[in-house]
């Protein structure tokens, strides 16, 4: 089982859309996939039409008294399950703070289901906190959607520095940054992307366009690949997934 976290310190960059759509692509390829919605906003949970409530409470999962397997809900799609968000996740940092070995908590919770899935996607809330650090410890790779704007680049570099500066806390981890919500008609987007690639050649080639198909996810409450099977956005997520597979250690 490999664990991937869609993460960015900044909000509104397409983390949840990335987690939901990549998970759907992986499941469509026949892999067994779980999405754990760690964001108290519960957008991934909403997209899968699942109720935003964790059986037994989110706290029990963090404390180790509840089992992650009991919280899992199937989505409407073969091979794709979700651990729904819970509004109480807003206290996630506090729970971790109270727990022994807080950074290992998420990893330990995932251990019990490692035979059930090929891929786990952790959909994280925007911030850098104890929760994020616990996610870094659990994940094999971070998938970092990045909008081609100055503020987005700034947060990407903050993350990059954080990982470099904390080799003890963040174990060996791949970081897959990619451009998200790109409008290629905008000169500024094109310029930011080419400049950024010079400083960060590791950024992925695949680009997710700024598209109404992706915005429609909120209305359809399904991954793009379900209602827009042949759309540009669906194809873009497929390309992104294939590139991540190639780059995985």
Partner 1 sequence: MTTTRRFFITGAGDFATVISVLQSRVGLSLVSDEKLERHWLDTNGQLLQQQSMLLEYARPEQNDAAAALRWSDAQRSIATNDFVSRQEPAVGSDLPEDAAWDRLRTLLGNESLTISLSTVTRRASFRHLNEDEKTTVRVVVDESSLQNGSALPVRLEITELRGYGDEADEVERKVHQHVALRPTSQTAFDTAQEFATAKHIEPLGYRVLSANDAETKSAAEGWHLVLRALGGAIFDEVKGIEARDVEALHRFRVAVRRMRTILQDGNDVIDKSARKQFRSEFQWLGEISTPARDADVLYELVQTSVLASEPVVDQVHSWRENQWDAFLLETRLERWKSLQKGWDDFLTDSKLWRSDIPDDARKPLRKVASKRILSSYERLCAEGSSITKKSPAEDLHELRKTAKRLRYLLESFGPLFPDDEVEAISKPLRRLQKVLGEFQDADIQAEQLLQLAGAAAIPLAEEAKNRCAQARREFPDAFAKIEKRSVRRAVKSLPGKGRKP
Shortest Å, Cβ 84 to partner 1: 9
Looking at beta carbons only, is 4 or 170 nearer to partner 1? 4
175: nearest Cα among 127, 103, 247: 247
Looking at beta carbons only, is 51 or 90 nearer to partner 1? 51
178: nearest Cα among 141, 145, 153: 145
Q: Residues 6 or more apart from 78 whose CB is under 8 A from it?
A: 27
Looking at beta carbons only, is 14 or 84 nearer to partner 1? 84
Q: What would you report as the CA-atom Rg of the chain, rounded to the nearest whole angstrom? A: 17
Span of 78-86, 98-106, 121-129, 183-191 interacting with partner 1 by CB under 8 A: 78-86
Looking at beta carbons only, is 49 or 111 nearer to partner 1? 49
Question: Is 29 a residue that touches partner 1 (CB under 8 A)?
Answer: yes
The string of DSSP codes covering 232-244 is HHHHHHHHHHHHH
Q: Are 21 and 224 in contact (CB under 8 A)?
A: yes
Shortest Å, Cβ 76 to partner 1: 5
Classify burial at 4, counting beta carbons within 10 Å of its beta carbon; exposed 0-12, middle 13-18, buried 19 or more.
Answer: buried
Q: Which of 11, 12, 65, 76 binds partner 1 (CB under 8 A)?
A: 76
Residues that bind partner 1 (CB under 8 A): 28-30, 32, 48-51, 55, 71-74, 76, 78-79, 81, 116, 221, 242
């Amino acid at each position: 089982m490999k664990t991937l976290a869609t993460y960015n310190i900044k909000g509104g960059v397409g983390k949840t859309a990335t987690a939901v759509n990549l998970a759907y692509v992986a499941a469509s390829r026949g892999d067994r996939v779980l999405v754990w919605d760690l964001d108290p906003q519960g957008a991934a949970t909403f997209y899968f039409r699942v109720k935003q409530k964790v059986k037994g409470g989110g706290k029990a999962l963090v404390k180790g008294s509840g089992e992650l397997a009991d919280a899992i809900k199937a989505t409407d799609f073969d091979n794709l399950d979700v651990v729904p968000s819970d509004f109480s996740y807003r206290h996630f940092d506090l729970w971790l703070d109270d727990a022994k070995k807080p950074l290992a908590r998420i990893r330990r919770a995932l251990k019990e289901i490692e035979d059930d899935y090929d891929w786990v996607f952790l959909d994280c809330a925007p911030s850098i906190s104890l929760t994020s650090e616990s996610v870094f410890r659990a994940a094999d790779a971070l998938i970092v959607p990045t909008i081609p704007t100055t503020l987005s680049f700034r947060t990407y570099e903050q993350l990059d520095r954080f990982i470099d500066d904390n080799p003890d806390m963040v174990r060996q981890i791949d970081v897959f940054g990619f451009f998200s919500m790109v409008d290629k008609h905008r000169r500024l987007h094109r310029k930011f992307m080419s400049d950024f690639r010079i400083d960060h050649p590791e950024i992925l080639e695949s680009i997710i366009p700024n598209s109404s198909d992706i915005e429609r996810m909120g209305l359809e409450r399904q991954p793009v690949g379900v209602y827009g099977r042949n759309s540009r956005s669906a194809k873009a997520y497929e390309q992104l997934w294939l590139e991540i597979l190639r780059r995985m250690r």
